[in-house]
Amino acid sequence: MAPLHWVAIVLSFVATIQNYAGHMEASADIGVCYGMLGSDLPSAPEVISLYKQYGIEKMRLFEPNTAALQALKGSNINISLDIRNQDLADLAASQDAVNSWFNTNVEPYLNDVNFNFIAVGNEVIPGSLGGYVLPVMNYLQKILDDKNLHGIKVTTVLPGNALQSSYPPSSGAFTSEASSVMSGILSFLSAKGSPLMINVYPYFAYASDPTNVRLDYAQFTATSPVVRDGSLSYYNLFDAMVDAFFAAMEKAGGGDVGVVVSESGWPSDGNGNFTTPNLAGTYNRHFVKHITSKVGTPKKPGAYIEGYIFAMFNENRKPSGVEQHWGLFYPNKQPVYPVF
């Protein structure tokens, strides 16, 4: 099959694209996560070329992969880089440990790679590693301050289960375990003007309870409010989930902290009729439209929220089932979704 334009991949990115003249540009508000858990994925230079070919200007890297960072040199792609969860305990031990990490994984690329964020851990709050996050954030921030690298923001990534309550959105609150570390983290983020990263997956809510979670509500396609929360009306589950985080952040003293949606998406296979290319494409198209419209959420109208689609490729080294089918592309670089 001949390569399809980006319009076929995320079922158009149309809301972000105003001009089509043989090449399509994705919005600067949208990134794509570059997962590497596949035995048959293209080389890093090929992947970077694919990002550039389709005008994808932001990438999330789940670890400081040398081949990817080398390939990113001169690409002008903006990077969100994760510190690996398994490294947090050692890094929290001292400033010297974080200095060494930075000197190995960031310093050599500063002149040629655009770093937007460094995320200290992925979905480790709540959990046994959560207590290491703030110390590493502080050590890392000291390096950035000393080097006047004010364009790089330090953050961490939270999963949905960091919330004890999320319905209705105004009841959003962190679990007691998450609360024990989030107050300090939110204070740090507020002081530095940095956002909190959150992973938001309406798919899982729908797939786990399709009787009570409507498909149109999960897919941004409802035409009338589905949930009302006081004076606020919710047409889509994504907004409700984000606003539950905003409510939890307010209660933990971080009402002025913004968010970046570090992962969202819909699998195209692996769970019967819940996971088809059409459903995956519909979700991602509307996710892009929603993010790039800059409408914010009912609780935070007009709030600037960046978003990252998960993920660039289907990854065959993940557990069988839906986990292997989140990609916009097959490993052969052909798009997963057909043209609408």
Parallel, antiparallel or unpaired: strands 307-309 and 227-229: unpaired
Specify if 313 maps to a domain.
Answer: yes
Does 64 sit behind a cis peptide bond, omega within 30 degrees of 0 on the bond before it?
A: no
Q: How far apart are CA 23 and CA 186, in angstroms?
A: 41
CATH of the domain at 67: 3.20.20.80
Residue among 54, 197, 36 nearest 123 (CA): 197
Q: For residue 266, how far is the Cα from the chain centroid?
A: 13
In a domain, 173, yes or no: yes
- Domain count for the chain: 1
Residue 6 lies in a domain: no
Q: Report if residue 74 sits inside a domain.
A: yes
Q: DSSP state, 313?
A: B
Q: Which domain holds residue 198?
A: 28-329
Q: Is 118 helix (H, G, I), strand (E, B) or coil?
A: strand
Furthest C-alpha separation in the chain: 55
Residue 180 inside a domain? The answer is yes
The residues annotated as belonging to the active site are 123, 263
What is the chain's pLDDT, residue by residue, as a tens digit (340 residues)? 333 333 333 333 333 333 322 233 455 689 999 999 999 999 999 999 999 998 899 999 999 999 999 999 999 999 999 999 999 999 999 999 999 999 999 999 999 999 999 999 999 999 999 999 999 999 999 999 999 999 999 999 999 999 999 999 999 999 999 999 999 999 999 999 999 999 999 999 999 999 999 999 999 999 999 999 999 999 999 999 999 999 999 999 999 999 999 999 999 999 999 999 999 999 999 999 999 999 999 999 999 999 999 999 999 999 999 999 999 999 999 999 842 2
Q: Cα–Cα distance between 118 and 152 in angstroms, integer? A: 7
For residue 125, tell me if it sits in a domain: yes
H or E stretch including 190? helix 176-192
* 4 located within any domain: no
Residue 90 belongs to a domain:
yes
